A = this chain, B = another copy of it.
Amino acid sequence: MKITASAPGKLMLFGEHAVVHQHPCLVTAVDLRIQVTVEKIDAPMIFIETPLLSPKEQSFSLPLNELFNDKLLHPHTKFIVASIRKVFSRYNIHQGLKIQSSGPINSFGLGSSSAVTVATIFALITLFDIAIKKQQIFDLAYSAVMEVQTVGSGFDVASSTFGGTLFYLPTQKIETLNVDHLPLVIAYSGEKVSTTNLVQEVEQLRSQFPEILDLVFKAIGKITSSARIAMLQNNWKTAGNLANINQGLLESLGVSTPTLNKPITAARLSGSFGAKLSGAGGGDCMFAIVDEQTRSRVEAAIESSGAQVLHLKTNTEGVRLEPELA
């Protein structure tokens, strides 16, 4: 029996970097889904196939009795291996597996290791007939992610698990926002980035100017709380103003770039309510908040500035089972 689960990518709306310091963030799930298919095999082995492994590498395999000794260094399989370990140790399972993952070739920094982790865990607990709640999937997936990367606030794990649009306060609160539709234009700057490096650069700045950066993080936290209320009221003009303020604070942290600033400026000048980068910065994506009258004008301005508008569905479903395709 094969089980396939899928989990969405995520778009950070407000609060990036501050969420690392226990302030809230707002994040929405996007329909760049990662699929993970799991099946039991008789051999005492773990086989993993992902489209990210090069043809030379073929597939990744690991003897079952080496599962807990893996160093979790292989970039394309480490989150899957960590997920198997969490499920196996939590539920005392010892079983050979074949695992295949697939998903969009380019995820524009919006797909995430969290999505593959959450999908793997949900597929596995279904395969082994374990009934658990989404909160427990989140807990298992978050502990798997933390085993691999040791730091992380968990907002991306929450988004992949619960989907929708979340107000996420680390270790305290995961609230699903009752919003229908987010009037966003999302665009990719063309620059690829390493989130880890950017978080480290901000940490370095914080070690130099702790009082200043803590005030900036606190202000970002307040922006996020205000944006939550604005979004619940469908007050997108206010949300746009808050996006602009948030972007300035991200500039002060040094994580915006000229390549991101171009579409952000273009979006503001073409009549959007506001615009900011999304995620760790240094490149990847930005978004603008628009009304339907200005959408096409803002999209054209963003494209003219050199960025690529992405037509993505936001506020989408969290982790779920997929019908067997094969």
Q: A residues bordering B, Cβ < 8 Å?
A: 205, 208-209, 211-212, 215-216, 218-219, 222-223, 226, 238, 241-242, 244-254, 258, 261, 265, 269
Contacts and interface: CB of A to CB of B under 8 A. Distances in A.
Contacts of A219: 212, 215-216, 219, 252
A251 B247 contact: yes
A150 B71 CA distance: 68
The copy count of this chain in the complex is: 2
Nearest to A269: B258
Given A245-B254, A247-B251, A248-B252, 12 more contacts: A205-B245, A209-B222, A209-B241, A209-B242, A212-B245, A244-B254, A246-B252, A248-B248, A248-B251, A249-B252, A251-B252, A261-B265
A226 B209 CA distance: 8
A230 to B, nearest CB: 10
A265 B265 CA distance: 14
B212 A215 contact: no
B245 A226 contact: no
Contacts of A209: 222-223, 226, 241-242, 245
Given A248-B249, A248-B251, A212 B222 contact: yes
Contacts of A244: 252, 254
A301 to B, nearest CB: 13
A101 B219 CA distance: 46
B241 A208 contact: yes
B222 A215 contact: yes
